[in-house]
Amino acid sequence: MNAQAQTQQAGHVLVEVRNHVGHLTLNRPSGLNALTLDMVRSLRHHLERWADDPQVHAVMLRGAGPKGFCAGGDIRALHDSFKAGDRLHTDFFVEEYDLDLRIHRYCKPVMALMDGFTLGGGMGLAQGADLRIVTERSRLGMPEVGIGYFPDVGGSYFLSRVPGELGTYLGLTGTQIQAADALYCGLANWYVDSGKLAALDAGLDRLTFGEHPLKDLQGLLAKLGSQALTNAPLDKLRPVIDHFFAQADVSSIVEQLRAVRIGDSHQWALDTADQLETRSPLAMAVTLEMLRRGRHMSLEDCFAMELHLDQQWFEFGDIIEGVRALIIDKDKQPRWNPPTLAGLTRQRTEQFFEGL
């Protein structure tokens, strides 16, 4: 037993079963619980084991430390793998997407506690859960375009199903949202104040499970939290975002943001245009195309599309330069290819989707 516990520690995942609930805790708090391939494999192993275990009725996913559930994949390691000619950057996405899909299709209720930063790969883990819990500390986002990448881990599915054009906005800007917006967008379905998380754990430890574990868990959450919060900022901005982000391409979106005044939102629009112009033009264009296709695709087909993009992206996309500029050299001066939206052809974007 000790040897097994130590092995689980080595994979940076803490594993415990209490009162028929399997607890999986991402345990790299110093790295905001960013995912490594070992962590992905550990999570998958335990989910597979518990699927067939009649003693486990539900699963709880969470992150160690108060700062975050999971800040994404360990992108620096993937960059280094590509540079060294290794396979990690190809193997990682295949296994990560398989894990995320497995959570979406899991045979038992999964709870994901998105307390603190929940970004990129963290969203991939959480969005397949039945019960997606946020707190006042939650910061959810798909920030990939900022490093010359696209919102993957099922983002083409879950972002494209957010109301109106809000998912397009979140994917193209990489903006982080808080609890009220997460509930409004359907990216979370329960709010629990962080002060009540100890009571949530105590409740899980005492819960009497009946024939429908999901209903039992919902009943517990209903005593501690709520499913909607007032004053979601995106609710107010929705008509404006729906107008701007429904444009035909990213250039048109930026042009409209600068030129068109809707109500008192012009300063927000100008700031958003500035934000978009710092992002990789190629990554934004591919993201827009991917989200628009994803709206009409199954979950499995969305993951297959993202994997198809991944297999080309390290060589032909902007991620290597983005990681260099923002994570390695930290000069924050990425040399995107092309550097501006004006230099981007439709053909360059469409090439990534050929052969799908």
In this structure, the dihedral spanned by the alpha carbons of residues 38, 97, 242 and 296, taken in order and rounded to 10 degrees, is 180
Rg of the chain on CA atoms, in Å: 20
Active-site residue (options: 96, 100, 152, 318): 152
Tokens representing residue 343 in the block: 């230099």
Phi, psi of 165 (to 5 degrees): -105, 15
> Is residue 329 annotated as a catalytic residue, yes or no?
no
What are the C-alpha distances in Å from 342 to residues 91, 252, 285, 291, 321?
35, 11, 12, 21, 19
User: What angle is formed at CA 225 by the lines to CA 220 and CA 231, rounded to 5 degrees?
Assistant: 155
> Is residue 95 annotated as a catalytic residue, yes or no?
no
Active-site residue (options: 63, 73, 124, 154): 73
Active-site residue (options: 22, 72, 121, 141): 121
Active-site residue (options: 130, 144, 181, 318): 144
Question: E strands of the chain, at which residues?
Answer: 13-18, 21-26, 58-63, 68-70, 110-114, 117-119, 131-134, 139-141, 190-191
> Is residue 355 annotated as a catalytic residue, yes or no?
no
Name the residues annotated as catalytic.
73, 121, 144, 152
